[in-house]
Amino acid sequence: MIAHKFGGSSVANAERIGKVVDILLARAERQVVVVSALQGVTDALIELVKQAANRDQRWRAGLEALHQRHATTATALLGAAAAPLTAWLAEEFRSLHDLLHAQSLVGAVTTDLLDLISGLGEVWSSALVDAAVRNRGAESSRLDARDVLIVDKTELGAIVQWDASQRRLTEHLASQPGRTIVTGFVARTTDGRITTLGRNGSDYSGAIFAALFSAKELHVWSDVDGVLSADPRLVPEAVHIPRLSYSEACELAYFGAKVLHPQTMAPAIERSIPIIARNTFHPEHPGTRIAAERDTSQAVKGVTTFTGLAILSLEGAGMIGVPGSAERVFAALKHARVSVVMISQGSSEHSICCVIRESDAESARLSVLESFHRELASRQITNVTVTRGIAALAVVGDGMAGRPGIASQLFAALARANVNVRLIAQGASERNISVAIDAADARRALRAVHAGFYLSAQTISIGLIGPGHVGAAFFAQVQAARSRLLRDHDLDLRIRAVAGSRRMALTEPQVTDGALPPLDRDADLAAFAAHVQAEHLPHAVIVDCSASDAVADHYDSWLARGIHVITPNKHAGSGPWARYESLRKRRGQFRYEATVGAGLPILTTLRDLLDTGDEVLAVEGILSGTLAYLFHHFDGKRPFSALVRQAMELGYTEPDPRDDLSGRDVARKLVILARENGWRTGLSDVQLESLVPPGLAQVPLPTFLDRLPELDAPMAARLSAAGGKVLRYVARLQSGGKATVGLVGLTHDHALARIRPTDNVVQFTTARYRDNPLVVQGPGAGPEVTAMGVFADLLRVAAKLGARL
Ligand code: ADP
Ligand code: ASP
Ligand code: MG
């Protein structure tokens, strides 16, 4: 004998009921089959009762629609053979009409009527399933649980009267052998009233009838492949759990995994009946087997959230060392019939907090106020507060017990996702740690924690600003690496927004077709940031590939919100000190490796030196590929202006070559290096030698290009003054913070002299690298290598967020 329970989603319409019958008939065992109402019917019935009680005439149309739905289903299932069933349904709905009419005369919801009516959906659905089985030539009979299942309704829910129920069942079955189709959800009280087992109670019915029929297993059929590591509607990456212990399943169900009702477990646990959660729409899948055995190889099996909660807290010095305060709080809650979801009391005993249902919050508060009115009057208790909009998040797994580090993993994942924890509880069994958080954070928290325990990939939502050369190269590199990062590192990088200076595109779930999306709406960086920091994704990064100072003004607010910022844009790093300093203190990560030397690891090298305790004595470098090119070729044979023109033609200069020749760009990079070193250097502190003669600095570009040969004489003079050395445009930092940028003569064998035409090179002289400095050298400009520097920063951010790279 095997018990099966089919949920509302499995019997939603004729086609689905057909699948249920297929499943039943394909199995050889003896069966007891518990069914829910057709999906949505219980809600609809409750609504009809309320409407009738409010004398809202819409109940008539609602009733008719419900009748139609069942009649249509019967006809679709049985064709011509449906007549007796449709006649019976018509009779059922006529009497329901009379009940609702009576309800509307009473004018207020009567519990008895509500209980009776809300359970009718199961009466009808079981008739449909039973008829469908018999229509296929198989044996089947119906069992109305209201005739056999006797319960006591208490504050703890419906308590089964096993002996009475068993006795009635035996009497009943004597006359009805074969496959039995049972109404879920409904029962009768000891005093003979029709009642229900509470919302979603059919799972409980399934377990009860499995016990009453001494079934070997209980198969709970729904629309998912069993129990998943999180609610798949909230975490699409949730993974299937093959096995759970009863206690794990209880914790998951209690904290909101709707796939199983928590009460289900009790009758099954007592009799060691395994529960198998399965998918009606995917019957070949083995589902999740829930049984007594524990598998502790994996610490955390699942994560759940549960919303609609509130925190009640009681504060005051009057509770310190006073026995019985907690008891009085809980007595007050019991008096108000409020059930407590989580409890927490700090060791100072200065406050007691508990999590309750939001709908109970007001009655709970009033009851506690009343109970402590004397202490409140005398200020021994200073405050009784209620915070609404709370959610509970629980991580569950038998393998957590005795294994250190689980809580820290949980809290690290929450912190990285910027989720504030309000209250913490861990049961002594250590198979559940639960936290109370703001309901608004629930989805993000769930996903972050799910990924934090490597149950799914780390998902990072990315916004790209400035889809120019570097931006486009970055985009292409990320697209090319995506599937590999997902497969090998569980890292899911999703570019979800792209903004130019005037237009932008916001996409969901991400830009997929490999090309930059058309920018289809007006740019609005506030809307852009809000989209990137989606509530359902744990981490957000904005990559700024623009060269705009105005965009850099936004970094501070983004970082403050927990959005990480990565950029090759030098403005923030070299701009006003106050802005820069603030960025460094924000909670989001701010990375800008590509601002100096593009993809070359210059800033990371400097950081590594400093973080490991080295002392930087000097930093010298060639930080402009353009100027490196010019001085590589400047040997006096050709005039300097001819080399500038050649560099322009090769695309090595900015459109206006003065942007390179002025040295301002190099000075900005030097400021970034100096600040990384801990010096409070600004652009105005840099002693800068511009190669643009003062008279040419302000003239229009065409005039400048005409008068370019005016550079030749002074440059030739510099070269001969160098007396056989080569000229290099060098940026230099000396300990103490002195920063200079300008032309220097170097011997041919100097590290800064021996470089390839467009290389960047930086030489660090430090306490450790004193006699033989550390040199980083290589191509230091161009979209591909700059984008690589940005991408590498992105991976560093991801690693800090918990990705396994
Ligand atoms: P039924 O109608 O069969 O009773 P329910 O809607 O009550 O089905 O329960 C199944 C639903 O539970 C799934 O569709 C899924 O959205 C939700 N669910 C929530 N948490 C989980 C989880 N951890 N694993 C599987 N499903 C879950
Ligand atoms: N039909 C009932 C409800 O919706 C019981 C169930 O489906 O489990 O609550
Ligand atoms: Mg259900």
d(CA 10, CA 34): 12
C-alpha 42 to ligand 3 mean position (Å): 12
**Is pLDDT of 198 > 70?**
yes
The yes-or-no answer on residue 19 being catalytic is no
pLDDT band at 347 (very low <50, low <70, confident <90, very high): low
The predicted structure's pLDDT at residue 758? 82
DSSP 103: H
How many CB atoms within 10 Å of residue 663? 24
Phi, psi of 316, rounded to the nearest 5 degrees: 160, 145
The predicted structure's pLDDT at residue 642? 96
Which residues touch 762 (CB under 8 Å, ≥6 apart)?
596, 597, 600, 602, 605, 619, 620, 621, 622, 623, 673, 775, 776, 777
Query: Which ligand is in closest contact with the Cα of 202?
Result: 2
> Angle 254-154-336 (CA atoms, 0-180°, nearest 5)?
80
Task: Provide mean pLDDT across the span 274-278.
Answer: 97
**Is pLDDT of 68 > 90?**
yes
**Is pLDDT of 278 > 90?**
yes
In sequence order, the β-bridge partners of residue 305 are 393
Q: What is the mean pLDDT of the chain?
A: 93
199 lines ligand 2 (CB under 6 A): yes
Task: Provide mean pLDDT across the span 536-543.
Answer: 88
C-alpha 225 to ligand 1 mean position (Å): 10
The predicted structure's pLDDT at residue 522? 97
Take atom 4 of ligand 1 and give the residue whose Cα is closest. Answer: 7
Which helix H or strand E contains 543, and what residues bound it? strand 539-544
**Is pLDDT of 404 > 90?**
no
313 lines ligand 2 (CB under 6 A): no
pTM over 0.75: no
The predicted structure's pLDDT at residue 298? 84
d(CA 241, CA 450): 13
Which residues touch 475 (CB under 8 Å, ≥6 apart)?
464, 467, 495, 498, 511, 516
Instruction: Name the residue of 202, 204, 205, 222 to mutate for ligand 2: max ligand atoms within 8 A of Cβ.
Output: 202
* Nearest residue to 303 via CA among 447, 186, 425: 447
Task: Provide mean pLDDT across the span 716-745.
Answer: 94
**Is pLDDT of 793 > 80?**
yes
Distance set, CA 340 to CA 333, 353, 422, 434 (Å) = 8, 10, 16, 13
pLDDT band at 177 (very low <50, low <70, confident <90, very high): low
d(CA 505, CA 494): 14
DSSP letter string, 443-506: HHHHHHHHHHTTSSPEEEEEEEE--SHHHHHHHHHHHHHHHHHHHHH-EEEEEEEEE-SSEEEE
User: What tokens does 137 get?
Assistant: 């030539």
594 contacts 789 by C-beta, under 8 angstroms: yes
Task: Provide mean pLDDT across the span 577-591.
Answer: 94
**For residue 267, cis peptide bond before it (omega within 30 degrees of 0):** no
7 lines ligand 1 (CB under 6 A): yes
Which residues touch 453 (CB under 8 Å, ≥6 apart)?
299, 300, 303, 395, 409, 410, 413
d(CA 537, CA 237): 12
Task: Provide mean pLDDT across the span 243-272.
Answer: 89
Strand order in the sheet with 288-291: 141-143, 180-183, 31-35, 2-6, 217-222, 275-279, 288-291, 243-245
553 contacts 465 by C-beta, under 8 angstroms: no
Q: Quick one: how far is CA 617 from the chain centroid?
A: 45
Which residues touch 618 (CB under 8 Å, ≥6 apart)?
732, 733, 734, 735, 764, 765
DSSP letter string, 557-618: HHHHTT-EEE----HHHHS-HHHHHHHHHSSS-EE-GGGTTTTS-HHHHHHHHHHTT--EEE
* Nearest residue to 161 via CA among 152, 170, 169: 152
CA atoms within 13 Å, Cβ hemisphere of 176 = 17
Task: Provide mean pLDDT across the span 701-706.
Answer: 96
CA atoms within 13 Å, Cβ hemisphere of 634 = 33
Catalytic member of 258, 637, 669, 738: 669
431 contacts 462 by C-beta, under 8 angstroms: no
Query: Which ligand is in closest contact with the Cα of 288?
Result: 1
pLDDT band at 737 (very low <50, low <70, confident <90, very high): confident
344 contacts 432 by C-beta, under 8 angstroms: no
User: What tokens does 292 get?
Assistant: 């007594």
**Is pLDDT of 319 > 80?**
no
Pairing of strands 186-189, 194-196: antiparallel
Q: What percent of the chain has pLDDT over 70?
A: 99
The predicted structure's pLDDT at residue 653? 86
pLDDT band at 348 (very low <50, low <70, confident <90, very high): low
The predicted structure's pLDDT at residue 126? 98
196 lines ligand 2 (CB under 6 A): no
The predicted structure's pLDDT at residue 349? 67
Instruction: Name the residue of 43, 66, 200, 204 to mutate for ligand 2: max ligand atoms within 8 A of Cβ.
Output: 200
Residue-wise pLDDT tens digits, 449-507: 998 887 777 889 999 999 999 999 999 999 999 999 998 998 999 999 999 999 999 99
pLDDT band at 554 (very low <50, low <70, confident <90, very high): very high
The predicted structure's pLDDT at residue 176? 62
The predicted structure's pLDDT at residue 515? 86
